[in-house]
Each structure stands twice: as C-alpha cells, then as structure tokens.
Amino acid sequence: MLGILMAKQCKLTGKKPLVGNNVSHSNIKTKMRQEPNLRKKRIFDEETGRWVTMKISTSALRSITKLGLKKAIKKYA
C-alpha cells in the first residue's frame, strides 16, 4: 500500500504540508494539515528540447512563467 502513496511535495521549491492545530470557539484543539497548492504540469525544457512532467506548486509555476525553467531551478536550488 505504501507504493500507491505519492509525496505531496513541490519538486522545485520543496514545499511540504504544514501541521498545526484547528482551534474551536471552546478552545478544543484538533490536528490539521495545510497542503501545498500542487499542480501536475508538463513544462518544455528548451535546453534538451523535451517536455518534462513535474508536480509543482502554483507559486513555482508563476516563477517558471516569469523567469523561465532554467532560472527558476537556479533560484530554488
């Protein structure tokens, strides 16, 4: 069953889920997770001339759109 689970982590930025407490009005605390906003995208790599499928966060996607893939990888590496 562990082979089916995929990591909810951005391949470019390394963003992972955050763990915290959900606090009710009566101050009862229960555990919660904040998942990163991930998208599975095909991105064209101009150096190799190939399409690369990556699971990246939307903030990383904005950086790739603005800077290009090579500069975005250099920024987050």
Q: What is the pLDDT of residues 11-32, one digit of tens each?
A: 999 999 999 999 999 999 999 9
Q: Does residue 1 have a pLDDT over 50?
A: no
Q: What would the pLDDT profile of 29-61 be if each residue is shown by its tens digit?
A: 999 999 999 999 999 998 899 999 999 999 999
Q: How far is CA 55 from CA 25, 26, 27, 30, 31, in A?
A: 37, 39, 36, 29, 26
Q: According to the model, what pLDDT value does residue 7 have?
A: 82
Please report the pLDDT score of residue 6 as a whole number.
Answer: 65
Q: Going from the N-terminus, what domains does the chain have, and what CATH number goes with each?
A: 18-76 (2.30.170.40)
